[in-house]
């Protein structure tokens, strides 16, 4: 909230603090909404191109000239102009509110994501906790969508999500614990700052939490897998299995409502990529030590997030999907015990090597 | 509920063997749902309707309901001449149209005692095996999509496009060829046919290995398909399953080796049998893998056939108004999906009296109801895909 | 316990192998043709839309009798070499594009053109009478010169 005192003292001293806070909140929300729109635009286009080239195709080539980069905008415009159909027997109020919750949950997380040392809408001290909590609102939205569609197949999708999402929240949080233990704080900006110096005082890649300690490396991989399950990406995309449930929980949605679900998926993908980067891969610190870094921080951050998003897409187009019970088994029988093991192991490592703060 | 024809829905349920009360009483209280995996569904591979009684996600019973693609092919056989029935056989199992044409041609040749020239026999073998590869490629690709792996579909279809280009060059069509006729084939192969075939076969085996790496041996795929829906050998034989479905259950039976027709006894190839390498014998992984391995054997056969094409006519001399002798004939051929058999009754005129088609997918489908008790919906999709059904021949 | 770890490890290795395949495909060129700007070169024996050159036709009804779906109707007048069709219609709603009619035609007047991009906007247009709406005459004389399902002698024929 450092913008607030700066603004309040330097420029708008006549106004009460609460109004300044509100102003910052509105401007921040506006910027983040624009950023989410850009992310969705680029991510959807990238997904189509990456998937196409992996499948010996070409993807969008026409709209906007160079390899169809405006294709998403054209598709978004088309979706906006489509007829809004609500099934006759659907629960109307729930049907309308579900996409709002899903998109809102994805968007709320952006309030705490820093793009640079102090470039954040809201620099709260419980950043990690806030993001994890707020992302869970998406689950309620999906269940509502599945129920309100009055369609047994959508119901299947919604119920699967309920199980999957809530189960995978636990390993997500557990695997982040060792990082929190090392950093000693939940504030995202400070976590990244603590990655500036690592082993023997070397910076750069040695400072990244993913490489500090074998348990942390394991945590990194397991957190990434849990985050795939959180965002319903293959191999965990049961709620929206195209081949079994037509389109899962969003079968009955058309037009703008569908585009909400669609954008929310890509927005959420960026959030988890951002969390992985910030907590495990040095955030806006690049591979070289901080002193020789010449690329601006937000650029490095966005590039790293893009690398994670590319990896997510690569996995989607390579792997088949899990069955529901295999997914649950993976979570409860493998990831959660491993998470607990990682916490204990990291703690012991910190104690033995004297890294306790 | 508005706009719902209650009587029609009751009659429909009754015809499938469910009690009519289930439609009303299941809605409240229990977790049991009556779900319609309707004729339009991404993974029923055509217009197959399955009515599922599920307890939550677990399917307790899946009753198939067929007939959505019925086009009266057998009745039409009574109204067209023998040669003109060939395009109808194309469209029975539209993915392996050369094999269908061949089975029909051989039935009528057996009935009328027509001898096919050797050149035509070799050409028939080559195009039929190419079509078998194309058909199995469709199965592999769509099976991947059913289980969530989207990329193998595109890779297999790209290879299939090459095959379709080769077959288009000699026949003019890409899916329904009508190339193999009674007495031989329609037209001779083009001068570039053999070279294109060899080029394709040479570059095809590494691509098949890549698909194996991507899909067949992937641990997630194996977990989805191993030990799922095992069909024991004696149940498979009892239901009349044939083709790769039967061979995957461990039964060593292939018509091309055990009742060889045409020139199949001249080639050196292996019959692929399911051995339960990743789970039980006869599970879905076996059914899938038998088809993948058969593609390697088809490549072998094609290469051997290409070496030995003799010179000569490509079609026997057939009278303009062809009238076979009075009698009846039953002949079965090994299609990519199983045994396709034709039974034709002739009274000496130029049109048959009765044409009966024994479709392999129809008999394979009958095993689905017993096999899919007490499994999850995802497993049902996996099992259905592994049977490789084409509704064109189930419904005819 | 060991079983699960082993399975997960194998899951990783096989997934990585699969990812290698997809990565290799990522850097291979795509095989899509940007239709209609880029088109495939069609083979000679392409079975395009079937058309009849009424100036060559002798209305012998061979094609009418052999057609599996009965989409051809013809009425002729005259006798022997002077026989000409008065009305010759092909119903494209029924035509299978099977080319059986081209094999039996004694004068090769009916043939499969190279047109595969047929679009009709109205069902009434789909029954075409080749006497009142003829195609350009096929070059050559009336006798059969090529084998059945041979190369079409003229180029692309517009409907």
CATH number of the domain encompassing residue B282: 1.10.645.10
Is the model more confident about B23 or about A208?
Answer: A208
Tell me if chain A has a CB within 8 Å of the CB of C18. Answer: yes
Nearest CA-CA partner of A57 in A66, A67, A65:
A67
Query: Could you tell me how many residues make up chain C?
Result: 159
Q: Which two tokens stand for residue B92?
A: 């029975």
Q: A186 and A127 in contact (C-beta within 8 Å)?
A: yes
Residue B308 CB neighbour total at 10 angstroms: 12
DSSP class of residue C47 equals -
In a domain, B384, yes or no: yes
Least confident of A251-265, B77-91, B356-370: A251-265
Average pLDDT over residues A129-143: 88
Going through chain A in order, the beta strands assigned E by DSSP cover: none
In a domain, B149, yes or no: yes
CA angle, B366 as apex, B335 and B30 as ends, to 5°? 140
Three-class SS of A29-85: HHHHHHHHHHHHHHHHHHHHHHHHHHCCCCCCCCCCCHHHCCHHHHHHHHHHCCCCC
Å between A55 CA and nearest CA of chain B: 6
User: pLDDT tens for residues B219-271?
Assistant: 889 988 988 889 989 999 999 999 999 999 989 999 999 888 888 988 988 89
Average pLDDT over residues B109-123: 91
Question: What is the Cα–Cα distance from B224 to B284, expressed in whole angstroms?
Answer: 9
User: Which chains have at least 3 CB atom pairs separated by less than 8 Å from chain B?
Assistant: A, C
Å between C42 CA and nearest CA of chain A: 21
Is the model more confident about A95 or about B37?
Answer: A95
Output the CA torsion sign for B127, B130, B132, B138. Answer: negative
3-class state of residue C43 by DSSP = coil
3-class state of residue A88 by DSSP = coil
User: pLDDT tens for residues B4-18?
Assistant: 677 777 787 777 777
DSSP class of residue A332 equals I
Is 70 exceeded by the pLDDT of residue C107?
Answer: yes
Q: C116 and C75 in contact (C-beta within 8 Å)?
A: no
Residue C38 CB neighbour total at 10 angstroms: 8
Split at pLDDT 50, 70, 90, the class of B130 is very high
| String of DSSP letters for B180-241 | EETTEESSPPPTTHHHHHHHHHHHHHHHHHHHIIIIIT-HHHHHHHTTSS---HHHHHHHT-
Least confident of A176-185, A192-201, B90-99: A192-201
Tell me if chain A has a CB within 8 Å of the CB of B113. Answer: no
Is 70 exceeded by the pLDDT of residue A126?
Answer: yes
Split at pLDDT 50, 70, 90, the class of B85 is very high
SS3 content of chain C, % helix, strand, coil (to 5): 25, 15, 60
Split at pLDDT 50, 70, 90, the class of B379 is confident
For chain A, the average pLDDT equals 84
Contacting residues for A243 by C-beta, under 8 A, at least 6 apart: B42, B43, B145, B146, B147, B148, B381
Contact C22 A317 (CB under 8 A): yes
Contacting residues for A74 by C-beta, under 8 A, at least 6 apart: A63, A64
pLDDT at C150: 36
Å between A320 CA and nearest CA of chain B: 4
User: pLDDT tens for residues A21-68?
Assistant: 888 888 888 988 999 989 988 999 999 999 898 888 888 888 887 888
Contact B217 C104 (CB under 8 A): no
Tell me: do B116 and B31 sit in the same domain. no
Average pLDDT over residues C102-123: 85
In a domain, B164, yes or no: yes
Tell me if chain C has a CB within 8 Å of the CB of B84. Answer: yes
pLDDT at C1: 63
Question: What is the Cα–Cα distance from B19 to B121, expressed in whole angstroms?
Answer: 54
Residues of the domain holding B53: 10-65
Question: What is the Cα–Cα distance from C11 to A318, expressed in whole angstroms?
Answer: 13
Average pLDDT over residues B37-62: 81
- Selected for mutation to probe chain C from B214, B216, B223 (highest C CB count within 10 Å) is B214
Tell me if chain C has a CB within 8 Å of the CB of A54. Answer: yes
DSSP class of residue A202 equals -
Average pLDDT over residues A176-201: 83
Split at pLDDT 50, 70, 90, the class of B140 is very high
Split at pLDDT 50, 70, 90, the class of B342 is very high
DSSP class of residue A334 equals I
User: pLDDT tens for residues C34-89?
Assistant: 888 888 888 888 888 888 888 888 888 888 988 999 999 998 888 877 788 899 99
Is 70 exceeded by the pLDDT of residue B30?
Answer: no
In a domain, B4, yes or no: no
3-class state of residue C73 by DSSP = strand
3-class state of residue B28 by DSSP = coil
Tell me if chain C has a CB within 8 Å of the CB of B217. Answer: yes
pLDDT at C149: 40
Q: Which two tokens stand for residue A51?
A: 């998937």
Nearest CA-CA partner of A214 in A92, A86, A338, A51:
A338
For residue C28, give the nearest of A50, A56, A319 by CB distance: A56
Q: Which two tokens stand for residue A152?
A: 């047994």
DSSP class of residue B315 equals B
Contact B151 A55 (CB under 8 A): yes
Instruction: Determine the distance from the C-alpha atom of residue A44 to the mean position of all C-alpha atoms in its chain, rounded to a whole number.
Output: 15
Tell me: do B161 and B202 sit in the same domain. yes
Q: A28 and A121 in contact (C-beta within 8 Å)?
A: yes
- The pTM (predicted TM-score) of the whole model is 0.89
Contacts of B35 in chain A (CB under 8 A): 152-153
Instruction: Determine the distance from the C-alpha atom of residue A220 to the mean position of all C-alpha atoms in its chain, rounded to a whole number.
Output: 15
Is 90 exceeded by the pLDDT of residue A148?
Answer: no
- Selected for mutation to probe chain B from A323, A326, A328 (highest B CB count within 10 Å) is A323
Strands of the C72-77 sheet, one edge to the other: C72-77, C84-91, C127-129
Average pLDDT over residues B266-293: 90
Torsion (CA) B94, B98, B103, B108 in degrees, nearest 10: 110
b/e per residue B29-48 (b: at least 16 CB within 10 A): eeeebebebebebbbbbbbb
In a domain, B1, yes or no: no
Contact C98 B218 (CB under 8 A): no
Split at pLDDT 50, 70, 90, the class of C132 is confident
Tell me: do B373 and B308 sit in the same domain. yes
Average pLDDT over residues A303-327: 89
Is 70 exceeded by the pLDDT of residue B116?
Answer: yes
Taking every pair of C-alpha atoms in chain A, what is the biggest distance, in angstroms? 66
Q: How much is the CA Rg of chain B, to the nearest whole Å? A: 22
Tell me: do B109 and B255 sit in the same domain. yes
Å between B95 CA and nearest CA of chain A: 21
Tell me: do B179 and B303 sit in the same domain. yes
Question: What is the Cα–Cα distance from B158 to B139, expressed in whole angstroms?
Answer: 14
Helix A17-54 crosses helix A92-108 at what angle (to 10 degrees)? 100
Is 50 exceeded by the pLDDT of residue C154?
Answer: no
Torsion (CA) B194, B195, B199, B204 in degrees, nearest 10: -10
B253 CB-contact burial (10 Å; exposed 0-12 / middle 13-18 / buried 19+): middle
pLDDT at A238: 76
Q: Is the peptide bond before B101 cis (omega within 30 degrees of 0)?
A: no
B19 CB-contact burial (10 Å; exposed 0-12 / middle 13-18 / buried 19+): exposed
Least confident of A6-15, B237-246, C114-123: A6-15
Question: What is the Cα–Cα distance from C159 to C157, expressed in whole angstroms?
Answer: 6
Q: Which two tokens stand for residue B21?
A: 């009360």
Tell me if chain C has a CB within 8 Å of the CB of A118. Answer: no
Number of H helices, E strands in chain B: 17, 9
DSSP class of residue C119 equals -
pLDDT at B294: 92
Split at pLDDT 50, 70, 90, the class of B27 is low
Is 90 exceeded by the pLDDT of residue B135?
Answer: yes
Split at pLDDT 50, 70, 90, the class of C157 is very low
> Could you give the C-alpha distances from A161 to A143, A148, A157, A230, A249, in angstroms and in order?
7, 14, 6, 9, 9
Domain residue ranges of chain A, discontinuous segments joined by +:
5-352
Q: Element (H or E) spanning B89, and its range?
A: helix B86-90
- Selected for mutation to probe chain A from C1, C6, C26 (highest A CB count within 10 Å) is C26
- Number of separate domains in chain B: 2
Nearest CA-CA partner of B41 in A322, A311, A183, A245:
A245
Q: Element (H or E) spanning B343, and its range?
A: strand B338-346
Residue B1 CB neighbour total at 10 angstroms: 6
User: pLDDT tens for residues A229-283?
Assistant: 888 887 888 776 655 656 677 778 888 888 888 888 899 999 999 999 998 888 8
Question: What is the Cα–Cα distance from C12 to B219, expressed in whole angstroms?
Answer: 8
Average pLDDT over residues B306-315: 88
Tell me: do B44 and B137 sit in the same domain. no
Least confident of B27-41, B126-140, B204-218: B27-41
Average pLDDT over residues A280-290: 78
Which residue, chain included where needed, has tokens 């009753």? B63
Is 80 exceeded by the pLDDT of residue A17?
Answer: no
Contacting residues for A281 by C-beta, under 8 A, at least 6 apart: A208, A209, A210, A220, A304
User: Which chains have at least 3 CB atom pairs separated by less than 8 Å from chain A?
Assistant: B, C
Is 60 exceeded by the pLDDT of residue A197?
Answer: yes
Going through B66-185 in order, the beta strands assigned E by DSSP cover: 180-181, 184-185
Helix A152-183 crosses helix A127-135 at what angle (to 10 degrees)? 170
Is 70 exceeded by the pLDDT of residue A96?
Answer: yes
For residue C8, give the nearest of A56, A317, A334 by CB distance: A334
For chain B, the average pLDDT equals 88
Beta bridge partners of C76: C85
Taking every pair of C-alpha atoms in chain B, what is the biggest distance, in angstroms? 74
Q: B282 and B232 in contact (C-beta within 8 Å)?
A: yes
Split at pLDDT 50, 70, 90, the class of A3 is low
C134 φ, ψ (degrees, to nearest 5): -80, 165
Q: End-to-end CA distance of chain C: give it in Å, rounded.
A: 71
pLDDT at C98: 87
For residue A318, give the nearest of C4, C15, C32 by CB distance: C15
Contacting residues for A127 by C-beta, under 8 A, at least 6 apart: A112, A114, A186, A187, A188, A189, A191
Q: Which two tokens stand for residue B162?
A: 């090459």
Q: Which two tokens stand for residue A129?
A: 């906790």
């Amino acid at each position: 909230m450092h913008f607030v005192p700066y603004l309040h003292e330097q420029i708008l001293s006549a106004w009460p603090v609460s109004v300044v806070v509100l102003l910052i909140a509105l401007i921040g929300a506006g910027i983040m909404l624009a950023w989410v729109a850009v992310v969705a635009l680029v991510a959807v286009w990238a997904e189509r191109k990456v998937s196409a080239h992996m499948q010996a195709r070409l993807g969008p080539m026409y709209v906007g000239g160079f390899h169809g980069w405006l294709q998403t905008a054209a598709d978004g415009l088309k979706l906006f102009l489509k007829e809004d159909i609500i099934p006759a027997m659907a629960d109307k109020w729930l049907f309308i509110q579900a996409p709002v919750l899903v998109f809102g949950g994805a968007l709320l997380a952006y309030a705490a994501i820093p793009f640079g040392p102090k470039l954040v809408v809201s620099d709260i001290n419980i950043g990690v906790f806030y993001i994890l909590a707020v992302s869970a609102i998406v689950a309620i939205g999906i269940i509502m969508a599945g129920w309100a569609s009055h369609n047994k197949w959508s119901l299947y999708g919604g119920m699967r999500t309920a199980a999957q999402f809530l189960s995978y929240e636990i390993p997500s949080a557990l695997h982040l614990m060792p990082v929190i233990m090392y950093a000693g704080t939940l504030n995202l900006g400070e976590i990244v700052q603590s990655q500036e110096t690592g082993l023997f005082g070397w910076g750069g890649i040695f400072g990244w939490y993913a490489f500090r300690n074998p348990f942390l490396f394991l945590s990194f991989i397991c957190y990434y897998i849990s985050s795939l399950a959180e965002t319903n990406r293959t191999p965990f995309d049961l709620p929206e299995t195209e081949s079994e449930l037509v389109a899962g929980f969003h079968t009955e949605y058309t037009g703008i409502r569908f585009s909400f679900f669609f954008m929310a998926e890509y927005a959420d993908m960026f959030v988890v990529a951002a969390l992985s980067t910030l907590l495990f891969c040095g955030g806006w610190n690049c591979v070289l030590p901080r002193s020789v870094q010449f690329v601006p921080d937000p650029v490095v951050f966005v590039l790293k997030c893009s690398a994670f998003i590319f990896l997510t897409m690569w996995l989607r187009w390579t792997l088949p999907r899990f069955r529901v019970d295999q997914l649950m088994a993976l979570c409860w029988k493998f990831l959660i015990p491993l998470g607990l093991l990682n916490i204990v192991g990291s703690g012991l490592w910190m104690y033995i090597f004297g890294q306790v703060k | 509920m508005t706009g719902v024809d209650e009587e029609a829905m009751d009659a429909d349920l009754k015809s499938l063997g469910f009690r009519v009360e289930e439609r009303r009483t299941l809605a409240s209280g229990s977790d049991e749902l009556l779900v319609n995996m309707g004729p339009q569904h991404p993974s029923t591979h055509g217009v197959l309707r399955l009515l599922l009684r599920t307890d939550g996600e677990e399917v307790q019973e899946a009753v198939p309901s067929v007939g959505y693609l019925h086009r009266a092919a057998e009745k039409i056989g009574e109204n067209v001449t023998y040669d003109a029935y060939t395009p109808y056989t194309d469209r029975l199992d539209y993915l392996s149209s050369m094999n269908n044409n061949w089975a029909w041609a051989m039935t009528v040749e057996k009935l009328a005692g027509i001898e096919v020239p050797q050149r035509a026999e070799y050409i028939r073998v080559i195009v039929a095996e190419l079509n078998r590869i194309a058909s199995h490629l469709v199965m592999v690709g769509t099976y991947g999509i059913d289980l969530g792996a989207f990329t193998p579909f595109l890779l297999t279809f790209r290879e299939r496009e090459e095959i379709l280009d080769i077959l288009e060059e000699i026949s003019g069509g890409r899916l329904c060829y009508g190339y193999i006729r009674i007495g031989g084939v329609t037209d001779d192969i083009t001068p570039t046919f053999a070279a294109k075939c060899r080029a394709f076969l040479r570059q095809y085996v590494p691509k098949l290995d890549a698909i194996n790496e991507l899909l067949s041996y992937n641990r997630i795929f194996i977990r989805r398909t191993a030990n799922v829906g095992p069909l024991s050998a004696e149940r498979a034989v009892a239901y009349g399953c044939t083709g790769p479905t039967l061979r995957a259950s461990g039964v060593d039976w292939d018509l091309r080796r055990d009742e060889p027709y045409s020139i199949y006894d001249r080639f050196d190839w292996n019959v692929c049998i399911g051995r339960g390498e990743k789970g039980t014998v006869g599970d879905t992984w076996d059914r899938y893998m038998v088809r993948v391995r058969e593609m390697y054997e088809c490549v072998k056969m094609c290469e051997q056939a290409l070496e030995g094409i003799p010179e000569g006519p490509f079609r026997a001399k057939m009278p303009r108004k062809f009238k076979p002798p009075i009698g009846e004939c039953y002949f079965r051929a090994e299609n990519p999906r199983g045994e396709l058999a034709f039974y034709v009754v002739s009274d000496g005129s130029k049109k048959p009296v009765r044409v009966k088609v024994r479709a392999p997918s129809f008999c394979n489908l009958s095993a689905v109801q017993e096999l899919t008790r007490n499994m999850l919906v995802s497993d049902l999709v996996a099992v259905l895909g592994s049977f490789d059904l084409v509704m064109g021949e189930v419904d005819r | 316990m060991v079983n699960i770890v082993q399975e997960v490890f194998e899951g990783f290795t096989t997934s990585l192998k699969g990812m290698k395949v997809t990565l290799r495909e990522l850097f291979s060129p795509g095989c899509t043709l940007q239709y209609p700007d880029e088109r495939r070169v069609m083979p000679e024996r392409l079975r395009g839309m079937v058309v009849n050159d009424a100036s060559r036709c002798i209305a012998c009804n061979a094609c009418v009798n052999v057609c599996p779906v009965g989409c051809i109707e013809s009425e002729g007048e005259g006798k022997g070499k002077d026989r000409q069709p008065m009305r010759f219609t092909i119903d494209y709603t029924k035509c299978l594009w099977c080319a059986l009619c081209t094999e039996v035609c004694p004068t090769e007047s009916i043939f499969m053109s190279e047109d595969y991009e047929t679009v009709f906007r109205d069902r009434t247009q789909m029954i075409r009478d080749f006497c009142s709406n003829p195609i350009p005459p096929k070059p050559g004389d009336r006798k059969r010169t090529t084998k059945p399902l041979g190369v079409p002698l003229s180029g692309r024929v517009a409907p």
